[in-house]
């Protein structure tokens, strides 16, 4: 039982990070970046190449990867999101443009890095070697990962209660009215893309010691991130934590009691059931529209 909880919590922490990165971009823009999974993949691959291929110190490699992915995310907003919204409003055009950005990034990464997975060690001094605690065993990396994600989510929620955080929410409510309050929607949106991209890179870098860094990592975790966002409630980071724990524990129990091949089917079935009962997600609120 203890191993199931540890495994479920570990994967839940990774899924929650991906969901939070999606929420960070969604809150000021009301859109989802479908290239987010590829930003995650680029962060993991770049850190792995620098750390293992060029012997760059782990934290320096991670910092370079975060900066590069944050810049790439801002370019996606500049090229694939802002022009589409400016011309066509907040319709569905950004879905196609961010999907196109995703395909371009993936193809370039595949040509440069190849399909083979790369190993990235955990951040020093953490290790992936299990430590026996009697009732269960867990590595220092697994414990540190869960603690880090909880701290990150808490810090994010504290930020949204500050003046800049309220500005983010104001833009989501009404971009034009926010201009009258002295808020620059373009700047805030671009910074949100950068931060969301950096968090996606963190998710990829921290997932790599367990799942390895490869060009297939992004799509796998992006799908889980969307599941978590849907179940937890769009824009809710607290809901993302609870939803990620739910999905992570379901996968761990299924792998242990049935077969790993049924993990995806079981988690999707549970997610579908939750959404049938509560379409807006656990912490989401039903939206009404007057016409």
Q: Is 285 exposed, middle or buried (0-12, 13-18, 19+ CB in 10 A)?
A: exposed
Residue 19 pLDDT greater than 80, yes or no? yes
Give the residue-averaged pLDDT of 24-33.
90
Give the residue-averaged pLDDT of 112-126.
92
Any idea what DSSP says for residue 139?
Answer: E
Residue 48 pLDDT greater than 90, yes or no? yes
- H and E: helices and strands count for the chain: 12, 2
Give me the DSSP letters along 203-226: HHHHHHHHH-B-TTHHHHHHHHHH
Give the residue-averaged pLDDT of 91-107.
91
Per-residue pLDDT tens digits for 3-16: 889 999 999 999 99
Q: Give the model's confidence band at 91: pLDDT under 50 very low, under 70 low, under 90 confident, else very high.
A: low
Is the domain 2-277 a CATH 3.30.70 member? no
pLDDT of residue 289: 40
Per-residue pLDDT tens digits for 167-212: 887 887 777 777 777 788 888 899 999 999 999 999 999 999 999 9
- Domain segments of the chain: what residues? 2-277
pLDDT of residue 136: 82
Residue 18 pLDDT greater than 70, yes or no? yes
């Amino acid at each position: 039982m203890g191993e199931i909880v540890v495994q479920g919590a570990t994967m839940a922490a990774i899924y929650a990070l991906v969901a939070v990165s999606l929420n960070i971009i969604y809150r000021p823009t009301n859109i989802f970046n479908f290239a987010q999974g590829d930003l995650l993949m680029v962060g993991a691959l770049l850190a792995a190449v620098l750390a293992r291929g060029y012997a760059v110190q782990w934290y320096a490699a991670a910092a370079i990867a975060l900066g590069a992915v944050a810049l790439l995310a801002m370019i996606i907003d500049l090229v694939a999101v802002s022009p589409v919204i400016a011309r066509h409003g907040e319709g569905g055009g950004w879905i196609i443009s961010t999907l196109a950005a995703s395909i371009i990034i993936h193809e370039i990464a595949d040509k440069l890095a190849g399909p083979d997975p790369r190993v990235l060690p955990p951040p020093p001094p953490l290790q992936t070697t299990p430590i026996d605690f009697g009732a269960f065993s867990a590595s220092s990396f697994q414990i540190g990962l869960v603690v880090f994600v909880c701290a990150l989510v808490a810090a994010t929620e504290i930020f949204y209660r500050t003046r800049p955080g309220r500005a983010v929410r104001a833009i989501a409510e009404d971009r034009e009215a926010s201009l009258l309050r002295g808020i620059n929607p373009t700047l805030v949106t671009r910074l949100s893309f950068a931060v969301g991209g950096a968090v996606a890179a963190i998710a990829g870098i921290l997932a790599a010691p367990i799942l390895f860094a490869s060009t297939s990592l992004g799509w796998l975790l992006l799908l889980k991130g969307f599941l978590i966002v849907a179940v937890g409630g769009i824009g809710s980071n607290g809901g993302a934590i609870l939803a990620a724990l739910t999905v992570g524990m379901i996968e761990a129990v299924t792998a242990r009691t049935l077969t790993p091949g049924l993990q995806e089917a079981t988690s999707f079935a549970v997610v579908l059931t939750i959404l049938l009962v509560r379409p807006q997600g656990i912490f989401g609120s039903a939206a009404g529209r007057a016409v």
